[in-house]
A = this chain, B = another copy of it.
Amino acid sequence: MSEVVLKGKAAKKASYLMTGVTTEEKNEALALIAEQLIMDQEMLLIENERDLAAGKEKGLSDAVLDRIMLNQERIKGIAAAIHQVIELHDPIGETLESINKENGLNIEKKRVPIGVVGIIYEARPNVTVDAATLTLKTGNVVILRGSSSAKNSNIALISSIHRALERSALPVNAVQLIEDTSRETARELFRLNDYLDVLIPRGGKNLIDTVVREATVPVIETGAGNCHIFIDKTAEKEMAEQIVLNAKLQRPSVCNAIESLLIDPEWFRQHGSDLLKKLEENGVQIYADGQIREAYPTANQATEEDWSSEYLGLSISVKLVDTVEEAIGHINQYGTRHSESIITENSKHAEMFLQHVDAAAVYHNASTRFTDGFEFGYGAEIGISTQKLHARGPMGLAALTSSKFQIKGSGQIRN
């Protein structure tokens, strides 16, 4: 039996044990994990060093090496994050609906764990701990599959988590890592329908596209963000500038940063050059349509590809649109249903935009950068879903839960 199937079986078994654990037992286990990681930090750093050395030899970029890197401070940060998870309200057991039927049946819809959650992710070893603790908090069992570049770090982290779980009321197999990081094990996970209730990819567009294309298990797509801001005719100049600069520059590499600007022609005539200049002064490359380049010749010519590009860096596409309808149409055509914002003083246009743009989060007069589980007050974030089923937008703990109808009777039969 392959590693994946063996661990799948063990996970399913552990998931049945998890239906009996209490909030206190889960929180106690989480505290033990936090403690153990600190206790084991010397071992963790040695194993992490092996990954870093191998990465350097393979010529990984400094940015990727930085993502893999652990140090005392980062381990402390990981442990602190676990204590934040402990503080979160446990959603399991909540009553979501209660129906009392005339025949005396009482039907309650209860929140329950999903069961076995698979998470497939890239370099960062902190995701190993993050994913494990959020799934444990919600009574789930997790199968993790990280990347080869963090393999030694991940194995070390999991052995530390296992040592903590051994001292807890939770089954040790509640957290398992697929150690073989070959493509074959990823493919096996994609089709592990007998044991896996959901698979969540966390990483770049390639990983997500592969999972969506190949997986037969249910997937939560945490997608890319080709996010737009539409500056309407009545947008206040200063507000528009501040929001655009924030949404583009505050952290350009993340999914809720904007990639594209749509601008009303009249607003552009009055303020457009000032705005584009400020972007350029901050190092942003501008890819613009023909009309904009007439007024602002230093911009590069945008191609069709630019409208659907998620640059994830210091580039932006810019286009004039004549109406709010045109802006909505453009976004629905090229956007990735993540986060979209309109800047306007016209409340009718704002309403139209909020209603008709098809995205997880739609904004009026605010930066798209707020699309985030912590900013929304969920205290955690499993990812940002860009699909429409189960969960959409920032996913807090509730996204890791399912429901179950419990029906209590006294002999009722159906007529």
Complex: chain B residue closest to A332, CB-CB = B16
Q: Name the residue of chain B whose CB is nearest to the CB of A240.
A: B411
Q: Which residues of B contact A411 (CB under 8 A)?
A: 236, 239, 242-243, 365-366
**Which residue from chain B places its CB closest to the CB of A19 in the assembled complex?**
B356
**Are B414 and A369 within 8 A (Cβ)?**
yes
Q: Are A366 and B412 in contact (CB under 8 A)?
A: yes
Q: At the interface with chain B, which of A48-56, A213-221, A308-316?
A: A213-221
Closest to A388 in B: B402
Tell me, yes or no, whether A259 is within 8 Å of chain B by CB: no
Could you say which residues of chain B place their CB within 8 Å of the CB of A164?
A: none
- Cβ of A410: which chain B residues have Cβ within 8 Å of it? 365-366
Query: Roughly how many angstroms separate A173 CA and B246 CA in the complex, as a whole number?
Result: 41
> Which bucket holds chain A's interface residue count?
35 or more
Contacts of A412 in B (CB 8 A): 365-367, 370
A332-369 interface mask toward B, CB cutoff 8 Å, 1 = contact, 0 = none?
Answer: 10000000000000000010001110111111111101
Q: Decide yes or no: A404 and B218 within 8 Å by CB, A115-B388, A246-B414, A413-B369 being known contacts.
A: no
Interface membership of A375, Cβ < 8 A: yes
Q: Are A414 and B16 in contact (CB under 8 A)?
A: no
Question: Quick check: is A403 within 8 A (CB to CB) of the other chain?
Answer: yes
CB neighbours of A215 from chain B (8 A): 216
Q: Is the CB of B198 within 8 A of A389?
A: yes
Complex alpha-carbon distance, A364 and B366, angstroms: 51
Q: Which of A219, A239, A388, A410 counts the most chain B CB atoms within 10 A?
A: A388
Interface residues of A in 368-415 (CB under 8 A from B): 369-371, 375-377, 387-390, 392-394, 402-414
- Chain B residues, Cβ within 8 Å of A387: 197, 218
A40 to B326: give the CA distance in the assembly, Å: 40
Distance in Å: Cβ of A376 to nearest Cβ of chain B: 6
Give the distance in Å from the alpha carbon of A213 to the alpha carbon of B190 in the complex.
Answer: 11
Contact of A362 among B218, B363, B406 (CB under 8 A): B406
* CB neighbours of A407 from chain B (8 A): 361-364, 366, 370
Q: How far is the CB of A355 from chain B (nearest CB, A)?
A: 6
Chain B residue contacts of A364, Cβ below 8 A: 406-409
A212 proximal to B (CB < 8 A): yes
Q: B214, B250, B359, B376: which contacts A404 (Cβ < 8 A)?
A: B359
Which stretch in A99-107, A128-136, A294-302 binds the other chain? Answer: A99-107
Q: A242's contact among B198, B369, B376, B413, by CB below 8 Å, is which?
A: B413
A20 within 8 A of B: yes
| A362 in contact with B409 given A356-B19, A388-B114 (CB within 8 Å) | no
Which residue numbers of A lie inside 8 Å of B, CB to CB?
16, 19-20, 99, 101, 105, 107, 109, 114-115, 193, 197-198, 212-216, 218-220, 236, 239, 242-243, 246-247, 250, 332, 350, 354-356, 358-367, 369-371, 375-377, 387-390, 392-394, 402-414
Q: List 17 A-B contacts (CB under 8 A).
A: A99-B376, A99-B377, A101-B377, A213-B216, A218-B388, A236-B411, A246-B414, A360-B404, A362-B406, A363-B409, A366-B409, A366-B411, A367-B412, A369-B414, A389-B402, A392-B405, A393-B403
